[in-house]
Structure 1
């Protein structure tokens, strides 16, 4: 049996990044684990420092249950280097290379409006971008 993975992003502002990645991936807020009814109730069950807020984290999931879960956690230190691991946002659909590139370009424009930044375009193949806190990711063609 294969293991599953979750992805965790460090953040200065967990809620800002959560809003971006909800938009980018079509993810939703993950419900708290049973038996908790809210994230606040779950968070309060831990022995955490007083200044630790439930808003210092966000937990997202694929509403269809296919993709990995995404945790976004506030950390005190800033991002200082290029990611050693990045996500690829895959735009579905087949067609000619020109049609695939048009879908990739349209998706990157949508993500710029959501707060992302284009870093470099590799014409016809993929676009390297950064989320609102500078975490690199790529937008490319994927399966239909």
Structure 2
């Protein structure tokens, strides 16, 4: 079975740019025989007025093939509630790595992601229990964690 992660959003191209850098993914090429996703959408019967302008680049893939594809599905409404599902970016090395070292790794990744447009929304710093993570939001407010 194949699966993909679908993220509702208002501006797919903005989130494709952010998450491609955040995850080190790449834009997914349009299906064979189509020069762009816009061309493919038109070919399968999506009306042009629903597509807006541009090439409709709204999908990412893991260049290694290990991770799921991601589709940024355009929706008219803005995000309004807390996510019930979120992504954890695991950069700290896990509990086998001392918390102080994990904190350095996590904070470096947080700095990289905030430079790309994420914003910090909280953190969990509990060295007694061996935990450190930072909660962020992408440019449209979708929550994710760096651990």
* Shorter-chain TM band: 0.7 to 0.9
Task: Normalising by structure 2, report the TM-score.
Answer: 0.85
Q: Number of aligned residue pairs: give it.
A: 138
Q: Deviations over 1:43-95 (max 9, x none)?
A: 22121223122655511000000111010121111111111111111116464
Tell me the secondary structure at the aligned position of residue 125 of structure 1: strand
Aligned residue for 1:130? 137
**Counterpart for residue 106 of structure 2:** 104
Q: How does 1:1-144 map to 2 (within 5 A)?
A: 3-53=1-51, 55-56=55-56, 58-91=58-91, 93=93, 95-123=97-125, 124-140=131-147
Contact 1:56 1:73 in 2 (8 A): no
Aligned CA-pair RMSD: 1.8
Shifted more, 85-94 versus 101-110: the winner is 85-94
Structure 1: runs of 5 or more not aligned: none
CA distance in 1, matches of 2:137, 2:42: 33
Q: Determine the C-alpha separation between the residues in 1 that align with 2:56 and 2:9.
A: 9
Unaligned runs of at least 5 residues, structure 2: 126-130
Runs of 4+ in 1 over 4 A off after TM superposition: 54-57
